[in-house]
Amino acid sequence: MSNKTIRKIIIILFSIIMMIVAGREFLIRLNQREPIVKGPGVTTIAKLSDYFEDIKGTIGDTDVYIMDGDEEGGTVLIISGGHPNEISGVLTNVLFIENANIIKGRVLLIPFANNSGFTAGHPGEAYPMRYTINTEWGSRWFRFGDRWTNPLHQWPDPEVYVHYPSGQSLSGFDIRNLNRCFPGRENGTLTEKVAFAITQLIKKEKVDMTIDLHEAEPMYPVINTIVAHQRAMDIAVFAEMNLSAYEGIRIGKELSPENLHGLTHRELGDYTDTFALLAETCNPIQDPCRGRTDENLLLTGKDDFILKAGKLGLLFVPFDENGSPVDERVGRHTSTVLELINSFSELYPDKEIIISNVPRYSEVIEKGVGHYLLEPEGNL
Amino acid sequence: MITFIYYLFCAYIVALLIWNYVEENNIYNEILYAFVLMPFLLRVFRIN
Ligand SMILES: [Zn+2]
């Protein structure tokens, strides 16, 4: 063999090794699934494809946890993971799934709404692949995904995304943004089909109230707030008053803009009978001015650059050295969800929903999210 | 359909890169081809 051939073999071997190293990480991201414990209150675990056959066998299919109460009452749906990089909603849903006891009514939960987005990271953003929550018995890990559907599963993006059915023009990449695709389209893209399936679920299960959980960057004006469809505004107003009066949680409320299409709080309220609401907490890892992007930032929300931005008055939330820890964000969401359910129950007593055993703001902050996570069977 | 053509196109580029790599005599170009090959091959295998 000539020197040249040996050289070529060495170089290509080196390239293959690098491909294996990188490819292994990508494959883990594509296939990893965190364990979720079926809590004592969970009656059945359905699939989103049960409501729209077309997504069966696709990455868009996802688990729907159904918790039936002892007495009949109203039905609430809690969605998280519509944006897979907004972790406080996912953790809130997991706390409900693993702890809640439903006394009256029904609770449906979709923790990983855009399942495809959980298999990707955002190119160039240095997102960690997963994060770990410490508990008293060990630790639990969860996927950290991208805001958008994985381009492997839906490609290519158009130059301009025309929302169906409003015809509103949006950025091309938002065709992969689940929270710009509602009410969905039966024969549309994967993301539109997932949105369509959720809309079908709301119709078939006669969901009285839908709460969509999100997070936003501190420089974004819609943060630490409840966004409500006009029919759901009363519920948001009562919840906001109770949250500030009894728990000292400062939260805003906003009316869903009539002309901003594709979002849950607009389209689900317009196209179904559900009361549509959305809640936002503060997640500094989403902010473009952040510094080092790692699991620590994701969980503590501490960042010197954002702190500096806050001192310059550029943020829409109070922000100090304590950052925006995940326990606080999840606590805000659990209290907000519970308070929205209480307000709904007071306004519509014949559709009352009563839930016990879900920790509120102060309890989550005191004991930490990990305290409320169960140990999966066969966990090593 | 577009996706299918896209993957065919990627596979074609992979083939061209490998062909160029085999034919090349300059070591720097060989390294270049070996590196450029990586993302295309990963894409053809639907890994990234
Ligand atoms: Zn969001």
| Cα R_g (chain A), whole angstroms | 21
Provide the chain B residues 18-47 that lie in CB contact (below 8 A) with chain A: 21-22, 25, 27, 30-31, 34-35, 37-38, 41-42, 45-47
**With 90 as the cut, is the pLDDT of residue A13 above it?**
yes
Question: B7 CB near a chain A CB, below 8 Å?
Answer: no
Question: B11 CB near a chain A CB, below 8 Å?
Answer: no
Whole-number pLDDT of residue A329? 98
Q: Which residue has the tokens 């055993």?
A: A357
A241, A229 contact by CB (below 8 A)? no
Instruction: Give, in order, the Cα–Cα distances in Å from A307 to each of A109, A125, A132, A303, A312.
Output: 35, 20, 25, 6, 9
Reduced to 3 states (helix: H, G, I; strand: E, B; else coil), residue A204 is helix
Q: Which of A239, A240, A232, A273 is nearest to A256 (CA)?
A: A232
Average pLDDT score over residue span A224-253: 97
Angle separating helix axes A87-99 and A326-347, nearest 10 degrees: 60
Cβ contacts from A onto B, under 8 A:
41
Chain A residues close to B30, C-beta within 8 Å: 7-8, 11
| Residues of chain B predicted below pLDDT 70 | none
Complex ipTM value: 0.89
pTM of the model: 0.94
Whole-number pLDDT of residue A379? 57
pLDDT digits (tens, 9 = 90+) for A70-113: 999 999 999 999 999 999 999 999 999 999 999 999 999 999 99
Contact: A155, B21; criterion CB under 8 Å: no
Nearest-CA distance from A155 to chain B in Å? 7
Give the amino acid at A132: T
Give the amino acid at A352: E
Whole-number pLDDT of residue A124? 87
pLDDT digits (tens, 9 = 90+) for A105-137: 999 999 999 999 999 998 889 899 999 999 999
Chain A residues close to B25, C-beta within 8 Å: 4
Mean pLDDT score across all residues of chain A: 96
Whole-number pLDDT of residue B20? 93
